[in-house]
Amino acid sequence: MDVLLTPSGGKEHLLLGNEAIVRGALEAGMAFATCYPGTPSSEVPDTLYRLRKQFPNKVKYYFEYSTNEKVALECAAGAAASGVRTLCTMKHVGVNVAADPLMTLAYVGVNAGMVILTADDPSLFSSQNEQDNRYYARLSGLPMLEPCGPAEAKEMTSYCFELSEELGSPVMIRTTTRVNHAREAVPFVKLGKVKQTSKFKKNPMQYVTVPAVSRNLHLRLLNIYNQAQAISEQSPYNQIVGKGKLGIITSGVAANYVMDAVGDLGAKSKIKVFKLGFTYPLPEKKIARFLKSVDKVLIVEELEPILEEAVKALAQEKGISVEIVGKVAGKVPAKSVDIEAPGFFSRAFEYNPRLVREVIAKTFGLKFTEPAEISLAGMPTPPGRPPNLCPGCPHRATYFAVKEVAGDEAIYPTDIGCYTLGVLPPIKAADFLICMGSSVSSSGGISRATGQKVVSFIGDSTFFHSGITGLVNAVHNNHNFTLVVLDNGTTAMTGHQPHPGVNTEAIGDATTHIPLEPLIKGLGVQHVVTIKPFKVRAAKKAIEEAIAFEGVSVVISQELCPLFARRVAPTTKRVFQVVEDKCKGHLDCIKKVACPAMFVENGQARINPLQCIGCALCAQICPENAILPVKAKG
């Protein structure tokens, strides 16, 4: 059995922040969960999915990977309105996709606890931006809590279900990568009772947001804010620690950096820390009292100066003249490579313990001897180790074929997934990317505006997520470009989650498979072809024809991600080797595709047999036919 399903409480377990959120939801008796995956949130849904699959008789909730975040939130909204406890998870940019339902769901509210997880990613470990989703609480009017670590994440998740029911409103829980992907001891309480089904009670005056209804609902939302604020004033998650005439206000993981720094600086009797966990609405009265009790206040928060502005506004309103400092307005770190050490609080990148300690020491005039650094002058330069497509990745073969046909001149809008790594040399087939789905829609804009040849790339999960509407638009408006759908049968980048195009039988899921080709034909695309990317010659020919087609054409490049295939349909192919007598050392194979299984030795190409999976791409590139399968032992 899995520890997460331990019925009783009492013990502590070392959990990842995201596992702790799952346990928190289970302790609250969650009955329904939806998501679209995305780092750093993915282990929440992945754990829910795994538990349901491994322990179908023990687990009592419904769970789905939805096609995108908007769909996930709307599906969850329906469940919560019907009266079952619901969780909906996404990464920070996912909330942009779900923003439309979010804003008005805040008006209609819920009939059972509903918790929305937004997992932010300061420093952009695996994201396209580092937006601060604390703004979404302010934009929507929904209450928000922010845990500082896994143990608090578990407790808050459970609590958010209660709070949501008390207010009749969804509640947001906002984490950052350092909370989602940290592990610590998490004390358990017993699993909650699950109310699995309910009845939808009709009430159009609450649930049908025509203007006359929504006018009232907006007032409802504003009243909920007041009610939530009163709760925030009393919340044990808003806690003042220590004593002294110097004040710090902080939230999220930064609170840990502050607590460590205060200890390191030996300043526990000088600095009083207001650690905020229930961060929207803010406990304004409690903050005002805090401001009056200190001589100077430092605000320690990652990303946007949201607390800082709120606290300054509050001080102004209450006529409190204490000095309040935080971010240095307008000052920007010199280089993004200096992520760790700008020496001041800026709006970019996550904080770290040393930075926080330095700024606290400087702000309050405290002394600290930093450890003796070593000089790195004269260090041999480590070679770059950027992430790369795996050996045998079908994306590499597709890129190779497209580049052979369309060269460097074509414009390559791309999308988000493993295949975004095609931006790196030697593939270099990525020219424009802003968000999931942008490949398709931006292709129309680029080709219309320039008349240049446009070939764009989108992964299968991303296509279902947000490519379909863009493709309909392109067909309807008579755009002219070729879209390559990289159909590797899974959502690889974020951990191989299923999506509507997955072969559901192979993975043993009772969901319905929606094959791509009939779908795309049904959207009205006149030229649709499915290729096998490791059959290079045939693939090139099909791509050539698709590109020559006037109008919108689609190439579906179909081949399972080998990491995924290994799990669902293991096959063993013969690995390849370079025949030394034949290799003339042009190194075309390596220069054109940079497969990580290949390297150079004595001017010749070599293949690492432990990494090769026998995709045969390089064998088809070699002009000397020097790459052959290793003969089976026997």
Q: CB of 427: closest distance to ligand SF4 in angstroms?
A: 12
Q: CB of 125: closest distance to another protein in angstroms?
A: 6
Contacts of 92 (CB under 8 A, 6+ apart): 118, 119, 120, 121, 127, 131, 133
38 in contact with ligand TPP (CB under 6 A):
yes
- Distance, in Å, from the CA atom of 314 to the CA atom of 423, rounded to the nearest integer, reads 47
Do residues 143 and 172 touch, judged by C-beta distance below 8 A?
yes
Q: Which stretch binds ligand SF4 (CB under 6 A): 206-214, 282-290, 390-398, 570-578?
A: 390-398
Which residue's CB is nearer to ligand TPP, number 71 or number 416?
416
Interior/surface letters 159-177, b for 16+ CB within 10 angstroms, e for the rest: bbbebbbebbbbbbbbbbb
Contacts of 186 (CB under 8 A, 6+ apart): 12, 13, 14, 15, 20, 23, 150, 151, 154
Judged by DSSP in three states, 281 sits in coil
36 in contact with ligand TPP (CB under 6 A):
yes
Cβ atoms within 10 Å of 6's Cβ, excluding its own? 16
Do residues 259 and 273 touch, judged by C-beta distance below 8 A?
yes
Number of residues that bind ligand SF4 (CB under 6 A): 10
- Distance, in Å, from the CA atom of 212 to the CA atom of 77, rounded to the nearest integer, reads 21
Which residue's CB is nearer to ligand SF4, number 140 or number 488?
488
- Distance, in Å, from the CA atom of 505 to the CA atom of 257, rounded to the nearest integer, reads 48
**Applying CB under 6 A, which of residues 45, 562, 617, 627 lies at the interface with ligand SF4?**
562
**Applying CB under 8 A, which of residues 204, 330, 384, 634 lies at the interface with another protein?**
384
Cβ atoms within 10 Å of 323's Cβ, excluding its own? 12
340 in contact with another protein (CB under 8 A):
yes
195 in contact with another protein (CB under 8 A):
no
Which residue's CB is nearer to ligand TPP, number 24 or number 94?
94
228-257 binders of another protein (CB under 8 A): 253, 256-257
565-584 binders of another protein (CB under 8 A): none
Residue 453-492 contact track with ligand TPP, rule CB under 6 A, x = bound:
------xxxx-----------------------x-x-xxx
- Distance, in Å, from the CA atom of 338 to the CA atom of 544, rounded to the nearest integer, reads 45
**Applying CB under 6 A, which of residues 393, 471, 546, 556 lies at the interface with ligand SF4?**
393
460-519 binders of ligand SF4 (CB under 6 A): 488, 492
**Applying CB under 6 A, which of residues 33, 555, 561, 583 lies at the interface with ligand SF4?**
561
Q: CB of 93: closest distance to ligand TPP in angstroms?
A: 4
Judged by DSSP in three states, 333 sits in coil
Q: Residue 475 corresponds to which tokens in the numbers above?
A: 């067909």
Q: Which residues would be at the binding site for ligand TPP (CB under 6 A)?
A: 36-38, 69, 91, 93-94, 97, 128, 416-419, 436, 459-462, 486, 488, 490-494
Q: Which residues would be at the binding site for ligand SF4 (CB under 6 A)?
A: 389-390, 393, 395, 418, 488, 492, 561-563
